[in-house]
């Protein structure tokens, strides 16, 4: 994606933490238009259950674009049940090559409780290091906080919640109204 076309992720922070056989995905609820908060209680973390599989997704970027991608991901998961990595790679491939999809401005964090991926419109399917992934305008703050908290004996949910609280204190496009989903494998 060209930097001038989509100059930044404003209004979202999503963090995922894997620890103790569980993955927790947390996202804030703020939607901003420029410097104005439009909504403070949006749900940017969702659970998908295509064909009985359980998958948790968090998204940053354009909401309509993210919903389009989530629908496509759900279809990919239905056509390859239990194969999250394959579904993510297929989605990323379509996202990068399809004339319509390549203009979508969003990022996704996707997990089935075992695997954890970050998907981008550049065709990336990234498995994050250190069992932490973060995206959005406050993503770097949440990522740094979560990395520091991994040195403690806190569980995944506590780390995710504390990392989001730190990001909300620093990033003006992030608030403390959280949606938290847990998934185990």
Its pTM surpasses 0.75: yes
The radius of gyration of the chain from alpha carbons, rounded to an integer in Å, stands at: 15
Which is more confident, 69 or 185? 69
In the chain the first and final C-alpha atoms are separated, in Å, by 34
**Alpha carbon of 78 to those of 44, 48, 81, 156, 179: distances in Å?**
22, 11, 5, 28, 25
Burial of 82-116, coded b for 16+ CB within 10 Å and e otherwise, reads ebbeebbbbbbebbeeeeebeebebbbbbbbbebb
Domains of the chain, with CATH numbers?
Answer: 13-173 (3.60.20.10)
pLDDT digits (tens, 9 = 90+) for 17-39: 999 999 999 999 998 888 888 89
The whole-number pLDDT of residue 10 equals 54
Alpha helices, DSSP H, located in 80-151:
84-97, 139-149
pLDDT digits (tens, 9 = 90+) for 38-55: 899 999 999 998 877 899
pLDDT digits (tens, 9 = 90+) for 96-125: 888 888 888 889 999 999 999 999 988 899
The whole-number pLDDT of residue 6 equals 42
The rounded distance, in Å, linking the Cα atoms of 40 and 122 is 29
Residue whose structure tokens are 């919903």: 67
The count of residues in the chain is: 185
User: To the nearest whole number, what is the mean pLDDT of the chain?
Assistant: 91
Structure tokens at 142: 């949440």
pLDDT digits (tens, 9 = 90+) for 117-156: 999 988 899 999 999 999 999 999 999 999 999 999 999 9
pLDDT classification of 3: cutoffs 50, 70, 90: very low
The rounded distance, in Å, linking the Cα atoms of 39 and 58 is 17
Asked about 97 being catalytic, the answer comes back as no
pLDDT digits (tens, 9 = 90+) for 151-179: 999 999 999 999 999 999 999 999 999 99
Of 164, 98, 94, nearest to 136 (Cα)?
A: 164
């Amino acid at each position: 994606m060209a930097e001038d076309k989509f100059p930044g992720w404003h209004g979202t922070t999503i963090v995922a933490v894997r620890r103790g056989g569980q993955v927790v995905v947390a996202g804030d609820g703020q939607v901003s238009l420029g410097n104005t908060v439009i909504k403070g209680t949006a749900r940017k973390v969702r659970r998908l259950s295509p064909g009985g599989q359980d998958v948790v997704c968090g998204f940053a970027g354009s909401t309509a674009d993210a919903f389009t991608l989530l629908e496509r991901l759900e279809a990919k998961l239905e056509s390859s049940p239990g194969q999250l990595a394959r579904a993510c790679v297929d989605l990323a491939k379509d996202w990068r090559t399809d004339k319509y999809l390549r203009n979508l401005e969003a990022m996704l964090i996707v997990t089935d409780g075992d695997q954890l991926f970050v998907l981008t419109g550049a065709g990336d399917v990234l498995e994050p290091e250190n069992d932490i992934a973060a995206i959005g305008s406050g993503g770097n703050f949440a990522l740094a906080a979560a990395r520091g908290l991994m040195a403690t004996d806190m569980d995944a949910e506590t780390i995710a919640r504390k990392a989001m609280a730190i990001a909300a204190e620093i990033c003006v496009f992030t608030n403390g109204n959280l949606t938290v989903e847990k998934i185990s494998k």
